[in-house]
Copies of this chain bind each other. A is one copy, B any other.
Amino acid sequence: MKIKVLKDILGANDQRAKENHSLLRGKNVVSMNITASPGAGKTSLITRTIDRLGDKIRFGVVEGDISSSIDAEAIGNRDIPVVQINTGGTCHLDANMVANALGSLPLDKIDFLIIENVGNLICPASFSLGEDKNVLVASIPEGHDKPHKYPVMFSQADLVVLNKIDLLPYVDFDMEEFERKVADLNSKANILQISCKTGEGLEEWFSWMTDQSTSLQQSS
């Protein structure tokens, strides 16, 4: 019996990611992969976005979690298409999981697909899902040293959203150091300072989302 050894797992993932991307572009669906630490505020950002832009943009959501479905339930209440992926312990989404989810979504009725990755600042960086844009959500209480400690994730983001700025008065956070380190790692990514709790900075985020939706849909 010949044993086949899969040497290029990441290569296989990239191939599947390309297929996802082709499928989504063919359906004129803009896609975004949102990554973050546990508790940085991905789900809050998504629900705020749907509540604000949902009458202009037809959203769909893929929710990645290791076992629960509480985030999908929070979003499902908003009457938009949601698919929950439970990774069963795996610490990141991969392109194949997302390919399966795409098969369950009404892509003809979606303009913008938001994929919420598993809360983890390490492994999601190694697995492209086929997304157009990669958004990393960081948060003030995690500390300004996170770009230094998780450089690959920060280097790959198209945009860094820095959430929970309402906590700045209560936390030791060196904004200049954070900005400097992000700039060192990543020449393209802007940093948007926001608070999903108070709403501060969210208008700029909504503009960015609207711009992505418009420009990418026109380009396909």
Contacts and interface: CB of A to CB of B under 8 A. Distances in A.
A167 interface: yes
Interface residues of A, number: 38
Contact of A151 (B67, B121, B167): B67
A197 B123 CA distance: 30
This chain: how many copies in the complex?
2
Interface in A85-137: 89, 91, 118-123, 126
A173 to B, nearest CB: 10
A119 B39 contact: no
Q: Of A70, A146, A150, which is in contact with the most chain B CB atoms at under 10 Å from its CB?
A: A150
B145 A91 contact: no
A24 to B, nearest CB: 27
Contact of A167 (B37, B65, B118, B167): B167
Given A67-B151, A70-B145, A167-B171, A120 B91 contact: yes
Nearest to A37: B38
Contacts of A192: none
Given A122-B91, A141-B139, A38 B150 contact: yes
Contacts of A164: 141
Given A170-B170, A172-B197, 20 more contacts: A3-B5, A37-B38, A37-B39, A38-B121, A39-B141, A66-B149, A68-B149, A68-B151, A70-B148, A70-B149, A89-B122, A89-B152, A91-B122, A118-B122, A119-B150, A141-B141, A141-B164, A166-B170, A167-B167, A167-B171
30 contacts: A3-B3, A5-B5, A37-B38, A37-B119, A37-B142, A38-B121, A38-B149, A38-B150, A39-B139, A39-B142, A39-B146, A65-B149, A66-B122, A66-B149, A66-B150, A70-B149, A89-B122, A91-B123, A118-B122, A119-B121, A119-B149, A120-B120, A120-B121, A120-B122, A123-B123, A140-B141, A141-B167, A166-B170, A167-B170, A170-B170
Interface of A: 3, 5, 37-39, 65-68, 70, 89, 91, 118-123, 126, 139-143, 145-146, 148-152, 164, 166-167, 170-172, 197
